Amino acid sequence: MTLSANVVPRLSSHYVFRWEESQAAYILLYPEGLIKLNGSAGEILKRCDGQRNVAGIVTDLQTAFPGNTDAISRSTQAFIDLAQDKGWLQA
């Protein structure tokens, strides 16, 4: 399901998001284990703080990583939709 640009995603209460030095990556901890995230996923999830809507997250990423704004928009939306489908995010 595609979330609209006005939706404000936040991490599900079943997960803990943090930087793990030993993994040199952002991770999602949950009772059964952990998920090691790639750099892009970590940058997106750290912005899913319950304060910004999807459009704001995309804008912030486009500012932080200038370049192909269309690709950033598409990949951010795709990841947020996937993360919600997996239950990592709530809207």
- Ordered by where they begin, the domains of the chain are 10-85 (1.10.10.1150)
Residues of the chain with pLDDT under 70: 1
Predicted structure pTM score: 0.91
pLDDT tens per residue across span 11-30: 999 999 999 999 999 999 99
- Residue 55: what pLDDT? 95
Cβ-contact 79, 44 below 8 angstroms: yes
Pure H helices in the chain: 39-45, 54-64, 69-85
Closest CA to 16 of 4, 40, 32: 32
- Residue 2: what pLDDT? 76
Cβ-contact 70, 88 below 8 angstroms: no
Rounded Cα distance between 58 and 44, Å, is: 8
